[in-house]
Structure 1
Amino acid sequence: MRVLVAGIGNVFLGDDGFGVEVARRLRVRGGLAQGVELVDVGIRGMHLAYQLLDGYDGLLLIDTMHGDGPPGTVYRVEHDPDAPARGSGLNGHGMDPGSVLALLDELATVNGVHRPVGRVLVVGCEPASLDECMGLSEQVAAAVEPALRAVDELLTLLLDRPTEQTDDGPERSAARRVT
């Protein structure tokens, strides 16, 4: 069983550093299960896509994301691997998780690899500000601890049932909330 946990974000854009901070705290805390690899991807989304070609049973991405909640809201989302991929844009220093996964699909096809990643889950946080500055806003900084708990819970889910999909009803989209 191989699971990759990837913190994504740009620490020079305020709350966009959320995924990087959560990954840092996970590394300091330690104690990840055997088979779980932790990386701070930062803004190197293209490198993440290439790393995923090595094959993982599960992927847990940590990043900011826009949902319907106030700043600091922590989301748990599952990526639907059968949803149509949107274009990758091939921006090596600014790829969001959706673009990374689209690029992964393209790279896998070119290399003759069928679905190099099993289940893909995302822990996201609603940002307050993505302006040029260092440091998280008060709301997003307060969301780091709940995000760490969400990571722990979703890792347990990935390790117990790596390929099981959640069923949130008949609607299928590129992302579904994980319960």
Structure 2
Amino acid sequence: MRILVLGVGNILLTDEAIGVRIVEALEQRYTLPDFVEILDGGTAGMELLGDMANRDHLIIADAIVSKKNAPGTIMVLRDDEVPALFTNKIS
């Protein structure tokens, strides 16, 4: 099994950095099994496609804007729910 936990975001833009801060905290606080890889993707965007390929599971931590939820709400999106949320742009 191969799992990638990917944190994305811009550390210069306060709450936009949440994904990066999450993976930093995971690395500092936990010893994860060898089949789990932690990656700070920063603002790399499409350059991360190779890192995401051939994974059994992909967990992405990122900040998103949602008209349905208050700021700070944790959202879990699975499978077909992901592309439906990103109709305008993917960063």
* TM-score normalised according to structure 2 size: 0.81
1:42 corresponding residue in structure 2: 42
CA RMSD between the two structures: 2.3
Identity, % of aligned positions: 32
1:14 corresponding residue in structure 2: 14
How far residue 19 of structure 1 moved from its aligned partner, in angstroms, is 0.3
1:61-140 pair list within 5 angstroms = 61-67=60-66, 68-80=68-80, 95-96=90-91
Could you tell me which amino acid in structure 1 is paired with residue 48 of structure 2? L
Equivalent-residue separation in structure 1 for 2:79 and 2:62 (angstroms): 13
1:18-37 pair list within 5 angstroms = 18-37=18-37
Unaligned 5+ segments in structure 1 are: 90-94, 97-179
Could you tell me which amino acid in structure 2 is paired with residue 60 of structure 1? I
* TM-score normalised according to structure 1 size: 0.43
In structure 1, the residue corresponding to 2:61 is in which secondary structure? strand
How far residue 79 of structure 1 moved from its aligned partner, in angstroms, is 2.9
How far residue 66 of structure 1 moved from its aligned partner, in angstroms, is 2.2
In structure 1, the residue corresponding to 2:75 is in which secondary structure? strand
1:60 corresponding residue in structure 2: 59
Could you tell me which amino acid in structure 2 is paired with residue 29 of structure 1? R
How many residue pairs align between the two structures? 87
Equivalent-residue separation in structure 2 for 1:63 and 1:80 (angstroms): 17
Could you tell me which amino acid in structure 1 is paired with residue 60 of structure 2? L
How far residue 59 of structure 1 moved from its aligned partner, in angstroms, is 0.3
Q: Which has the higher contact order (CA 8 A, sep 6+)?
A: 2
How far residue 46 of structure 1 moved from its aligned partner, in angstroms, is 2.3
